[in-house]
Amino acid sequence: MQDEKKVPIHFAPLQGFTDAPYRNMHETIFGGIDTYYTPFVRLEKGDSFRSRELRDIEQENNGVNHLIPQLIASTPDEMRKIVTLFREKGHTEADINLGCPFPMLVRRHKGSGILPYPEEVAALLNCITEFPEMQFSVKMRLGWEKPDECLALLPLLNKLPLKQITLHARVGKQQYKGETNWNAFEAFYRECKHPLIYNGDISTLEDINRLMTRFPNLSGIMIGRGLLANPALAYEYQLGVALSREEMLGKVKAFHNLLFGYYEAHLQGNDQLVTKLKTIWEYLLPDMDKKVKKKIHKSTKIETYRAAVSEGLK
């Protein structure tokens, strides 16, 4: 309903998808987002950073109204170096990733791989007090293997000066498969003293309404794949009604044209451009004709790619 109080919608970061151009164009065409997050920055061997990640957090490359850079680390030393980088780049907030489920990082006790080790989590998070001029938030999962691992961390989390916590209602081992666990989320929701944001499998207005009915005191909702599939979802939520097919296709065309223009000017050659643009169609408009989607994914030349996209957006 339009007169109901709206909670802020946060756009979850997804590696390879939500880079600065994507975020900028999304806010221009669709909007409805309170906060965008960068895909996580990590420290490489030799204490270096990837140039792509450095570009992505530069203020001059980001035009959205509210951006928070995200970091992933397993030791206080790593975290200090990344937070110092953020500060040097003019950021005053940082989001700490304790949720990433990818095995290569989990094995190094990064992301959700650190959750079963409360002492390591405490050592990592306690160093936020060394940066009193920065605001910190945490994005986490219910646990790595067990959904009550988050509850063991609550006494520590409740004492820390955090701006908010985002909780994805799955364990890391599930990655992005299987059911979200709202009962386990509720146990955390009841005892968490910080503003709490829900994350996990929200893709329609009905999903949002069902979530807010059950958890009316949420401080926000973070959506990732649901927004990649329907980039208008947050806008529709603010509006209180879904867009018509014509309105949706019009906005997607405008969005795609902006992205196409940007990447055409910044990428080298046909191959790079087609490869980059095809990634957005992994999630975008899942109800598009399957034959047309296949044409998009199989295209290797700009001409065939543009023709397929044009056919799909009729």
233 domain residue, yes or no = yes
pLDDT at 4: 66
CATH of the domain at 88: 3.20.20.70
2 domain residue, yes or no = no
195 and 300 share one domain: no
pLDDT at 2: 43
Return all residues near 293 (Cβ < 8 A) that are at least 6 apart.
281, 312
3 domain residue, yes or no = no
18 and 137 share one domain: yes
207 and 149 share one domain: yes
Total of domains in the chain: 2
27 domain residue, yes or no = yes
pLDDT at 83: 98
28 and 146 share one domain: yes
pLDDT per residue as tens, the chain (314 positions): 444 679 999 999 999 999 999 999 999 999 999 999 999 999 998 789 999 999 999 999 999 999 999 999 999 999 999 999 999 999 999 999 999 999 999 999 999 999 999 999 999 999 999 999 999 999 999 999 999 999 999 999 999 999 999 999 999 999 999 999 999 999 999 999 999 999 999 999 999 999 999 999 999 999 999 999 999 999 999 999 999 999 999 999 999 999 999 999 999 888 899 999 999 999 999 999 999 999 999 999 999 999 999 999 98
- Give just the sign of the alpha carbon dihedral 232, 235, 237, 242: negative
122 and 250 share one domain: no
Domain final residue, candidates 194, 210, 239: 239
Domain final residue, candidates 194, 224, 239: 239
127 and 179 share one domain: yes
16 and 112 share one domain: yes
Name the pTM for this structure: 0.96
146 and 93 share one domain: yes
1 domain residue, yes or no = no
49 and 96 share one domain: yes
Domain final residue, candidates 195, 222, 239: 239
173 and 228 share one domain: yes
Question: CA dihedral in degrees (185, 7, 71, 173; nearest 10)?
Answer: 30
149 and 234 share one domain: yes
Q: Which domain range does residue 290 map to?
A: 245-312
